[in-house]
Structure 1
Amino acid sequence: MAGNARTFILMAAMTALLMGLGWMLGGQGGAIIALVFAGATNVWAWWNSDKAVLRQQNAIQVDSQSAPELVDMVAALAQRADLPMPAVYVLQTEQPNAFATGRNPENSAVAVTQGLLANMPRDELAGVIAHELAHIKNRDTLTMTVTATLAGAIAMMGNMLLFSGGRSDRGGGLGAVLAMVIAPLAAGLVQMAISRAREYEADRDGALISGQPLALANALARIAQLAGRTVNMPAERNPASAAMFIINPLHALRADRLFATHPPTEERIARLQAMARGR
């Protein structure tokens, strides 16, 4: 219930921002058009954003024939989590990372990168997959995919406002400033609003699913260290999706790092270590 309320609040907030940008572009008519656009975007995001994110990340679906060990691991962990078997994808990037997506557990997917498969010991890989299954179990995936889609829509509307300069009776030059500052800032703030709590919760629940909190802690440390050395180009081209990953995929030199879409890795590791000591 809380997850559904959070999704509704995020949709409402992003819709209001879209309407505000529409008003600056075209007054009342622009606001109405933005409202219609936001409604269509919300419906589209609800049903299709998971597929869009997978396409953006150049994800390739695998099965028991093409990746038997990975698929068997996902199946075993999904059974432990009392979840339907999700679709399994591999991302064609050497950066170790992973995310989950889908509007519900019956229509979900787990995606891992080639770099994750190449660099993770089996127990740490299981911890990462369990973390992503926890997102599916908690229905975070809908929140993440819808938010990423709406953040992209906000950025697009902001660009339109920037290049048009806005209506002269709506601030004109001020509209351009708002487009450059508020629109991307709002998108970043939305990512931050949902990311910290859901990551801590998915760490805890993922550790319970895998039964190995220290393995997940070690995986987080390893991914954080290696991710900063490898550029994930699909993620760089689509920064609104960054909050979906287990570790921020954006390169350390990017300005996007100013927006803390993920909790501090050190704090996440400390919580998992405390969890292991308390078992």
Structure 2
Amino acid sequence: MTRILLLTLTNLLVVVIFGIFLKIFGLQNNNNIIYLLIMTFFGFTGSIISILFSKLITLNSINYKLIKYPINEKEKWLIKTIINISKLNNIKTPEIVIYKSNDINAFATGSNSNNSLIGLSNSVFKYMKKNEIEAVIAHEICHISNGDMVTMGLLQGIMNTFILFFSQIISDLICNKKQNNKKSNFLLNIQSTIFTSLEIILGFFANIIVMSFSRYREFRADAGAAKIIGKKNMIAALNRLKISSKPLINKNLIAFYINGSKLNLFNNLLNSHPTLNDRINALINM
């Protein structure tokens, strides 16, 4: 509930800040205020929907087995481990799924800490030791207790609003829009082209900001897991992930996996995860 309240307050704050921007630069007219409200609505709508339906979206994108009533020792151990680590983080035990994948990976999602889901690939149990699996689970539960899913949605909503609003304002300024002036089809086409180009350019820089936060939260989840399960165990888990050199990432969940893809573009500015070596070094230097 606190995170949803934060989402609402931040939404209002974005409107206020953009309103101040309009006033400072003499752009405060009825059309721009309407733009601001519309862009804020559309900017946050997608993020709010993705947060509220994150579990459903996730489950529809993977081949999974829900672990509710254990049928073997592995599942009994898994449920017990997740319950214990959840209690240490003061959160409700998340739903648990095991999904089919050749990739050693895990993820967490959900709209809040009391309505969450944790998933582990079946390869985790093939290639990792119990202490390493515990570290992976602790990492994902730290994501849940930190509210990372909501925060990512919140940040993405702000970026979406920024992109839409400033693309519209700048394209209007370039095309010399004045109230009550009629535009030719040619000028409207030019403005549309400028708007789309600005969306792409601003979207690129906004994505750098979002990915920067995503990398930060990975370091934070690693540190949180190390405090729960031990630094050596978390480092061992990260070293084990190295054997999965090219994780098979579902694009809908890329920011929520423990082992992210490696794009290696623009000095890793667009990576959702730090390199495994960087994460290990951060733990060593804790």
TM-score, normalised to structure 2's length?
0.68
- Provide the secondary structure at the position in 2 that maps to 1:227: coil
**1:273–1:258: structure 2 CA closer, same or farther, 3 Å change rule?**
closer
The reply on whether 1:226 has 2:243 as its aligned counterpart is: yes
- 2:174 aligned with 1:174, yes or no? no
- Structure-2 separation of matches of 1:191 and 1:6: 19
Is 259-268 or 38-47 further displaced after alignment? 38-47
RMSD: 4.1
Provide structure 1 residue ranges, at least 5 long, that are not aligned to the other structure.
18-26
**8 A contact 1:86–1:107 mirrored in 2:** yes
Specify the alignment match of 1:55 in structure 2.
60
1:117 CA drift (Å): 2.3
Structure number with larger C-alpha Rg? 2
Q: What is the CA–CA distance in structure 1 between the aligned matches of 2:4 and 2:222, rounded to whole Å? A: 17
Report what 2:49 is aligned to. Answer: 44
SS state of the match for residue 90, structure 1?
A: strand
Secondary structure in structure 2 of the residue aligned to 1:37: helix
- Count of aligned positions: 249
Q: Following TM superposition, by how much is the alpha carbon of 1:124 offset from its aligned partner in structure 2, in angstroms?
A: 0.5
What residue in structure 2 maps to residue 72 of structure 1? Answer: 80
Match of 2:107 among 99, 102, 115: 99
Structure 2 CA distance for partners of 1:84 and 1:264, relative to 1, 3 Å = same
* TM-score computed with the length of structure 1 as normaliser: 0.70
Task: For residues 174-199 of structure 1, give each alpha carbon's deviation from its aligned partner in whole angstroms, at most 9, with x where no partner exists.
Answer: 3343344432442343132x223322
What's the CA shift for 1:230?
Answer: 4.3
Q: Residue 267 in 1 paired to residue 275 in 2?
A: no
Q: 1:53 to 1:137 in 2, by over 3 A?
A: same
Instruction: Kindly provide the amino acid, as one letter, of the partner of residue 89 in structure 1.
Output: V
After TM superposition, the structure 1 = structure 2 runs for residues 1-279 of structure 1, keeping only pairs within 5 Å, are 33-66=38-71, 67-145=75-153, 150=157, 168=188, 171-192=191-212, 194-210=213-229, 212-223=230-241, 225-232=242-249, 234-235=250-251, 238=252, 241-248=253-260, 250=261, 259-275=270-286
CA–CA separation in structure 1 for the residues paired with 2:81 and 2:52: 27
Q: Which moved more, 1:4-13 or 1:56-65?
A: 4-13
DSSP-derived class of the 2:108 partner: strand
Aligned residues of 1:50 and 1:145 also touching (Cα < 8 A): no
- Does the Cα contact within 8 Å between 1:86 and 1:106 map onto a contact in 2? yes
> Residues 31 and 190 from structure 1, CA distance in 2 versus in 1: closer, same or farther, beyond 3 angstroms?
same
Conservation of the 8 A alpha-carbon contact between 1:46 and 1:146: no
Which ranges of structure 2 fall in alignment gaps of 5 or more residues?
19-30, 169-185
Structure 1 residues 260 and 151, CA gap change in structure 2 (3 angstroms): farther
Query: Compared with structure 1, are the counterparts of its residues 246 and 69 closer, same or farther at alpha carbon in structure 2 (3 Å cutoff)?
Result: same
Distance 1:115 1:268, change over 3 A: same
Say which SS state the counterpart of residue 97 (structure 2) adopts.
strand
> Are 2:98 and 2:121, in contact at CA under 8 Å, matched by a contact in 1?
yes
Whole-angstrom distance in 2 between the partners of 1:89 and 1:49: 14
How far off is 1:2 after superposition?
10
Do the aligned partners of 2:263 and 2:270 also contact (CA within 8 Å) in 1?
A: no
Q: Which has the higher helix share?
A: 1
Cα distance change of structure 1 residues 137 and 115 upon mapping to structure 2, 3 Å threshold: same
> Is the contact made by 1:53 and 1:145 (CA closer than 8 Å) also made in structure 2?
no
**Whole-Å separation in 1 of the counterparts to 2:158 and 2:121:** 24
Residue 41 of structure 1 deviates from its aligned partner by: 3.0
